[in-house]
Amino acid sequence: MLNSLVVKDYMASAMITLKPGVDIVEAAQTLQEYRLSGAPVLDDHSRLVGFLSEKDCLHTVLSAVYNQDYGDLVEDRMTKDIRSVHPTDNITDVAERFLKDGVRMYPVVDKDVLVGMISRQSVLKAFCQISKTQPHK
């Protein structure tokens, strides 16, 4: 039954995004304000160019501590090799990718356009909804 579920039915389409030229401190404040572990980074044409995580921001924290350097931009610290999923990808396949890749969320991209985000929580939500309809042994 879980094999019939697709990403588009469980992804979040309302997203907080960042720009590459934003100061990393401002970006970290945005992540904290919205209680996010990371956010997609979009260029001026709304194309996905990176992903900034809390872990990426920690590099700037250490640079500030050791070098008194607070000058990083999002583009300096973001992950540029972005793993994404498609809206029609199967939830089971995405769950397997979460285990393999060790990430918390994936950008959902259709024709080079960011259309949403899917998290591990979203996959668990799908599982819980399906399990309510299944007899338990």
Strand residues in the chain grouped as ranges (E): 38-42, 48-53, 105-110, 113-119
Confidence at 31, pLDDT banded by 50, 70, 90: very high
**Per-residue pLDDT at 104:** 87
Higher pLDDT, residue 37 or 61: 37
Contact 80, 59 (CB under 8 A): no
Residue pLDDT, tens place only, 88-137: 999 999 999 999 998 889 999 998 889 999 999 999 998 888 877 766 55
User: Token pair 């979040």 is at which residue?
Assistant: 12
Residue pLDDT, tens place only, 44-99: 988 899 999 998 988 887 877 777 766 789 999 999 999 999 999 999 999 999 99
Alpha-carbon distance of 100 to 96, in angstroms, equals 6
2-132, what's its fold?
CBS-domain (3.10.580)
A 10 A CB-CB count for 56 gives: 21
Report residue 99: phi and psi, to 5°: -65, -40
**Per-residue pLDDT at 96:** 95
Both tokens of 17, joined, read 């995004």
Longest CA span, the chain:
59
